[in-house]
Amino acid sequence: MSDLRVAVLGVGVMGSYHAAALAERIAHARVTVVSDADGPRAERVARAVGARVEADPLAAIDAADVDAVVIASPGFAHEAQVLACLDRRIPVLCEKPLTLTADTAYRIVEREATLATPLVQLGFMRRFDAEYAALRSLVASGELGAPLLLHCVHRNPAQSDAFTSEMMMRDSVVHEADVARFLLDEEIVAVTVKRPRASREAPPGVSDPMLVLMETESGRLVDVEISGRSRVAYEVRTELVAEHGNAMIGLDGGPLVARTGGVRGRVQTAGFIERFATAYDTELQRWVRAARRGTVDGPGTWDGYAAVAVCAAGVEAVRTGARVPVELAPRPVRAAA
């Protein structure tokens, strides 16, 4: 079977990382087309990975030399691009969030359910991280008894002033929404957000940090501290509390180094690429392997929709201070193959 020919739409931080991975590290795939609203950026990345540029992302999806698509454009562009991939019946790896609203995300769920096989994989790379996978296996084994609580910390060292409280919810907390569903294997039914005194690092009107409390259908609680401007490092920790034990991941287990001056310690990961580098590549390799067979292998449109719905409730909870229910539409049954 020949290599999967991939179009990468949006080659900023995430898309250029995926494009380089496809060119250098991922087996049985190559980037043939790059598209980005920023023409010179598209040219630069295309040259680096040996691809051509298509200015219009929809034309890239339709191109004869494209078998599958990686969407790493901003969230507002995802809906049209994912739907175009479904129209052409080609596999797509779409970065989170699936779309910006629950309604638009659900339309994609419904559209994809009319097809014989799933074609959309969501970029929830934590599911491919060895620590998250191990934690899920531990939960599934029943060794710790029933899970009761999940404590999550998600701190970014810095963000631009454009990163508002709403974006912290839609772009960052969306990962915890997915992780909670992945680890606990049930839906989130309500979200409450508490806004402590804001850091002076945050621009006026931005609530940073925030405490997000999610309730699951069986009555478990998931708390998330989300910080956009901690000025420390990229810290993502998850602690599960169960009936007969607890387990924590994300402790940055690199070498313990002693330095001149007598300070001994571990270096924390600087950003999401450093922390999840292996997970991104595992995700991409699994997607490539499945896409060559005309399908996907990972979180799908329903996971994308559920996470968007949780974050939409979170955005409303930030605005109103109220506990906001998450009401999911019925899960469609896939049409028979």
Ligand X SMILES: NC(=O)c1ccc[n+]([C@@H]2O[C@H](COP(=O)([O-])OP(=O)(O)OC[C@H]3O[C@@H](n4cnc5c(N)ncnc54)[C@H](O)[C@@H]3O)[C@@H](O)[C@H]2O)c1
Which one of the spans 20-28, 46-54, 73-81, 100-108 is the region binding ligand X (CB under 6 A)? Answer: 73-81
**Residue 37 near ligand X by CB under 6 A:** yes
Answer for which of 53, 57, 300, 301 binds ligand X (CB under 6 A) is 57
Query: Helix H segments across 146-265?
Result: 165-167, 174-184
Say how far apart CA 123 and CA 174 lie, in whole Å: 11
Burial class (CB in 10 A: 0-12, 13-18, 19+), 3: middle
Answer for which of 24, 47, 55, 74 binds ligand X (CB under 6 A) is 74
Dihedral of alpha carbons 224, 227, 232, 235, sign: positive
**Residue 77 near ligand X by CB under 6 A:** yes
DSSP 34: E
Say how far apart CA 329 and CA 48 lie, in whole Å: 43
Answer for which of 14, 222, 236, 291 binds ligand X (CB under 6 A) is 14
Interface mask toward ligand X for 97-136; x: CB under 6 A: --------------------------x-x-----------
Which one of the spans 7-15, 139-147, 177-185, 312-320 is the region binding ligand X (CB under 6 A)? Answer: 7-15
Say how far apart CA 286 and CA 226 lie, in whole Å: 29
Evaluate the omega torsion of the peptide bond into residue 299 and state whether it is cis, within 30 degrees of 0.
no
- List C-alpha distances in Å: 21 to 18, 210, 228, 278, 288: 5, 34, 27, 11, 12
**Residue 75 near ligand X by CB under 6 A:** yes
**Residue 12 near ligand X by CB under 6 A:** yes
**From the centroid of its chain, how far is CA 74?**
12
Say how far apart CA 91 and CA 34 lie, in whole Å: 16
Answer for which of 4, 6, 7, 10 binds ligand X (CB under 6 A) is 10
Answer for which of 21, 53, 66, 72 binds ligand X (CB under 6 A) is 72
**Residue 168 near ligand X by CB under 6 A:** no
Return the number of the residue (13 or 251) whose C-beta is nearest ligand X. 13
**Residue 249 near ligand X by CB under 6 A:** no
Say how far apart CA 238 and CA 42 lie, in whole Å: 36
Which one of the spans 71-79, 137-145, 176-184, 287-295 is the region binding ligand X (CB under 6 A)? Answer: 71-79
Cβ of residue 153: shortest distance to ligand X, in angstroms? 16
Residues of this chain that bind ligand X (CB under 6 A):
9-15, 35-38, 41, 57, 72-75, 77, 95-96, 123, 125, 171, 272
